[in-house]
């Protein structure tokens, strides 16, 4: 929301590319690569022999990063000015504006369609970390190797987020998201599952290739944030609320679908 309010509309897409690039460094690369190291280190240092010591201590270790990130945000953003015009509205108008964050989804058909696309476009992204380690286990790929693969995915998005953010300022946003985002994600998702399992002798290498392809195409959706606000220029806050709601629903439905599949099928059926 801060970027939308402080960056000119013509440059929002490029700015969001930079935002998602930094997000990939923290949440993706460090968030995946560091646990692949710390889990093993904490397990080796454990004395009680529990197999979950590494995971548990890594989780506690993450609180340090969260604390540092929070302090950086508080200090670095304290002098940024934002639009506070709506804060001066009468109480009734404020309540109307707040409810618009929900009603806009049903009053604006384009926002509804964009919301649906935002939910679907990262279903595989949030579902893969749950289901793929189980599938790849049969190929001899360990949890540590999977974390390295997922770190590669996010490492790629550091550059592709910037690339597509810049490209979207020069080409049609909708064409970029349609051809490179929707179709690219569909094909790379299928590639991620089928190709490594069809050629298990090259499973780890092909999984990395799959992660690279996924990282290239998922970033093509960078203009989506800017698109929400352009569709509702007078209610940017409500538009961004729907965007974040859609992102949250994607993160909700992906594990739900993965869990439903795992309940009904065992590992052998999944691979077969």
pLDDT tens digit sequence for 212-245: 999 999 999 988 888 888 888 888 878 888 988 9
Using the predicted structure, report yes or no on whether residue 197 has a pLDDT greater than 70: yes
- How many helices and strands, by DSSP H and E, does the chain display? 14, 0
> What pTM does this model have?
0.74
Using the predicted structure, report yes or no on whether residue 255 has a pLDDT greater than 70: yes
The position carrying tokens 């998005």 is 157
Query: Given this model, what pLDDT does residue 143 score?
Result: 81
Query: Given this model, what pLDDT does residue 271 score?
Result: 47
Query: Given this model, what pLDDT does residue 17 score?
Result: 77
Using the predicted structure, report yes or no on whether residue 87 has a pLDDT greater than 70: no
Report the C-alpha gap between 187 and 210 in whole angstroms.
10
Report the C-alpha gap between 110 and 132 in whole angstroms.
34
Query: Given this model, what pLDDT does residue 181 score?
Result: 92
The predicted-structure confidence for 33-46, as pLDDT tens digits, reads as follows 788 788 878 877 66
Query: Given this model, what pLDDT does residue 135 score?
Result: 84
Percent of the chain's residues with pLDDT above 70 = 87
199 phi-psi bin (left φ>0, alpha ψ -120 to 50, beta other): beta
The predicted-structure confidence for 144-159, as pLDDT tens digits, reads as follows 888 889 888 988 988 9
Closest by Cα among 119, 116, 109, 122 to 232: 109
Report the C-alpha gap between 67 and 50 in whole angstroms.
28
Q: Which helix (H) or strand (E) covers residue 214, if one does?
A: helix 203-218
Query: Given this model, what pLDDT does residue 270 score?
Result: 46
Q: What is the mean pLDDT of residues 92-104?
A: 76
Q: What is the mean pLDDT of residues 63-87?
A: 79
Q: How confident is the model at residue 266 (pLDDT cuts 50, 70, 90)?
A: low
Answer yes or no: are the C-beta atoms of 82 and 2 closer than 8 Å.
Answer: yes
Query: Given this model, what pLDDT does residue 83 score?
Result: 61
| Residues written for the chain | 272
Query: Given this model, what pLDDT does residue 88 score?
Result: 66
Burial of 45 (0-12, 13-18, 19+ CB in 10 A): exposed
Q: How confident is the model at residue 134 (pLDDT cuts 50, 70, 90)?
A: confident
Top-ranked range on mean pLDDT: pick from 36-45, 131-140, 189-198: 189-198
Give the chain's mean pLDDT. Answer: 83
């Amino acid at each position: 929301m801060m970027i939308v309010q402080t960056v000119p509309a013509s440059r929002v897409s490029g700015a969001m590319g930079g935002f998602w690039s930094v997000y990939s460094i923290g949440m993706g690369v460090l968030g995946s690569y560091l646990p692949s190291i710390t889990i093993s280190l904490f397990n080796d240092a454990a004395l009680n022999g529990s197999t979950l010591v590494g995971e548990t201590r890594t989780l506690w270790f993450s609180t340090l990063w969260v604390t540092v990130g929070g302090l950086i945000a508080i200090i670095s953003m304290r002098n940024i000015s934002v639009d506070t015009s709506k804060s001066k509205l009468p109480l009734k108008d404020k309540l109307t504006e707040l409810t618009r964050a929900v009603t806009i989804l049903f009053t604006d058909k384009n926002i509804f369609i964009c919301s649906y696309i935002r939910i679907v476009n990262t279903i595989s992204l949030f579902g893969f970390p749950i289901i793929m380690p189980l599938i790849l286990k049969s190929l001899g790929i360990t949890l540590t190797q999977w974390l390295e693969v997922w770190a590669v995915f996010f490492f790629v998005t550091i550059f592709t987020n910037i690339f597509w953010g810049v490209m979207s300022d020069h080409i049609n946003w909708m064409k970029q998201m349609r051809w490179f985002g929707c179709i690219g994600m569909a094909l790379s998702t299928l590639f991620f599952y089928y190709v490594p399992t069809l050629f298990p002798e090259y499973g780890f290498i092909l999984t990395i290739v799959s992660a690279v392809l996924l990282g290239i195409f998922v970033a093509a959706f960078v203009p989506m944030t800017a698109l929400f606000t352009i569709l509702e220029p007078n209610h940017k806050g409500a538009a961004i609320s729907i965007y974040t709601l859609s992102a949250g629903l994607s993160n909700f439905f992906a594990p739900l679908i993965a869990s439903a599949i795992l309940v009904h099928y065992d590992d052998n059926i999944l691979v077969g």
